[in-house]
Amino acid sequence: MTAPAAAGALGVPRRPGGAGPWAEWQLALPLALAYAAFFLVPLLLLIAISAFDDETLTTVGFAQWRKFLGDPFYWKVILDTVKLGFYTVVATTLIGYPIALVYLGAGPRWQRVILFVVILPLLTSVVVRTFAWIVILGREGVINQAVLWLGLAPAPLRLLQTEHGLVMALTQIEMPLLLLPLLSVMSRVDPNLADASAALGASRWRTLFRVTLPLSLPGLLAGCMLVFASSTTAFISQFTIGGNRLVYLPLLIWQQSLVVYNWPLASVAALTLLVSVSLGVVAIAAIGRRAQAYAS
């Protein structure tokens, strides 16, 4: 087989002047079509369903929107959902960033170990991880047994079905989403830069805040966005650990769509979740741009 025949068999069209922008479009086309069919169309359907007044989808109107947005309880649910994402982002960053620094300073063998430990939770189902947290946070769970044994409290602490218990669990569950982009960006940072900073007389803290942090910021931001989007929509963890005492938007969507079959109201809640998560992600990006501008 000759070389040109092989090229032809690979199906690369030989056009004079090389591949234009159209060729790139062709490459992106399958994904674009899949995106249109499986995301855009359902999204439009969702918007359409939210514009019905009644559960049987016969009367067009905005009654469900008025009901949802006119009720202070639902505003509190929206706020709580965003707050949960915010707390989880803060907690994962505070715990995850030092781990990333350890990773940066470790040798190649330890880096592999750290990376494996980071990915490990992703290899178990979220249901398993969440139920494990019931065992850890429960009245007779690991944490409470330790607290009672150390005499830190006279009675078991209430951790399950509280916001801080849920944030604790989500911090562990979402940690890989923060660390993976962060580690990939950090490992590409030239280690000589930190040495240069030290040689120029900067303290370790100054090097961290003026060199390492700004250079790792894109990875940190990407991680924060993923953690925010994932924790605000983590229905299984929210409902299993939070129970009915903590009501977030995903619980409302489930109740309305699958228990009471009020699809218009479920669509309203789903669109509200989409908008509030998007706003959160945009806010994180904006904070990131500010921070980057300040650092440089």
Partner 1 sequence: MIHRPVTRRRLLAGAAAACGASLIPARAHARGSVTAAMYPGTWEEAYRTHVAPALKKAHDVDLEMTPLFAVDQIAKAQAARGAPPFDAFVLDPGPRVTAIERGLFERFDAKRLAALAQLPKDATDEWGVTVAAQVVGIAYNPKKVPRPKAWTDLLKDPWVSRLGMTGFQTTYGTVSIIEISRQLGGSETNVEPFFTEIRKVLPKIAAIGAPASMPSLFQQGQCDITYTNTQTVATLRGRDVDVEFVTPESGAVAFFTTMHIAKGSRAADNAYKYFDTVVSAPVQAALMQPPNNLIPVNRGVKLAAGLPMTSLDEMASFVRHDWSKINPLRAGWIERFNKEVAK
Return residues touching partner 1 (CB under 8 A): 1, 9-11, 73, 77, 131, 134-135, 138-141, 160-161, 163, 239-240, 243-247, 252, 255, 257-262
Q: Pick between residue 214 and residue 243 the one whose CB is nearest to partner 1.
A: 243
Measured in whole angstroms, the distance separating CA 5 from the mean position of its chain's CA atoms is 47
Q: Pick between residue 164 and residue 289 the one whose CB is nearest to partner 1.
A: 164
To the nearest whole angstrom, how small is the minimum distance from the Cβ of residue 283 to partner 1?
25
**Residue among 223, 219, 251 at smallest CA distance from 237:** 251
To the nearest whole angstrom, how small is the minimum distance from the Cβ of residue 73 to partner 1?
5
Contacts of 126 (CB under 8 A, 6+ apart): 173, 234, 236, 237
* 86 vs 80: CA distance, rounded Å: 10
Q: Pick between residue 77 and residue 178 the one whose CB is nearest to partner 1.
A: 77
Q: Pick between residue 181 and residue 264 the one whose CB is nearest to partner 1.
A: 264
Residue 181, amino acid: P
To the nearest whole angstrom, how small is the minimum distance from the Cβ of residue 230 to partner 1?
19
**Helices 72-105 & 263-295, crossing angle to 10 degrees?**
40
Rounding to the nearest 10 degrees, give the CA dihedral for residues 91, 94, 100, 105: -160
Q: Pick between residue 34 and residue 258 the one whose CB is nearest to partner 1.
A: 258
Q: Which long-range contacts (CB under 8 A, 24 or more apart) does 187-190 make?
A: 187/103, 187/104, 187/111, 189/104, 189/215, 189/216
* 132 vs 120: CA distance, rounded Å: 15
To the nearest whole angstrom, how small is the minimum distance from the Cβ of residue 10 to partner 1?
6
Q: Pick between residue 58 and residue 244 the one whose CB is nearest to partner 1.
A: 244
To the nearest whole angstrom, how small is the minimum distance from the Cβ of residue 242 to partner 1?
8
Residue 160, amino acid: L
To the nearest whole angstrom, how small is the minimum distance from the Cβ of residue 240 to partner 1?
5
